[in-house]
Amino acid sequence: MTKYDSIASGKYTEALRQYVYGSKDLNTTLREAEEATNKAIEAEKAK
């Protein structure tokens, strides 16, 4: 566990919700979630 787990968990939860409701395919969902997570973590580190 790291201090960034809550950021990642939130991003992936939202992404998987979009996948389940059919608005995106799985590969796109996971790629976008990873990008959003990395961006949010970098912003948190910059504080």
pLDDT, residue 22, reads 84
Cβ–Cβ contacts within 10 Å for residue 29, how many? 19
Q: What is the pLDDT of residues 21-37, one digit of tens each?
A: 987 888 999 999 999 99
pLDDT per position as a tens digit, 34-47: 999 999 999 999 98
Residue-level pLDDT at 8:
93
The contacts of residue 29 (CB under 8 Å, 6+ apart) are 15, 16, 18, 19
Task: Give the helix, strand, coil percentages of the chain, each rounded to 5.
Answer: 80, 0, 20
- What pLDDT, on a 0 to 100 scale, did the predictor assign at position 27? 93
pLDDT interval class at 7 (50, 70, 90): very high
Give the pair of three-digit tokens for residue 28: 């796109």
Please give the single-letter amino acid code of residue 19.
Answer: Y
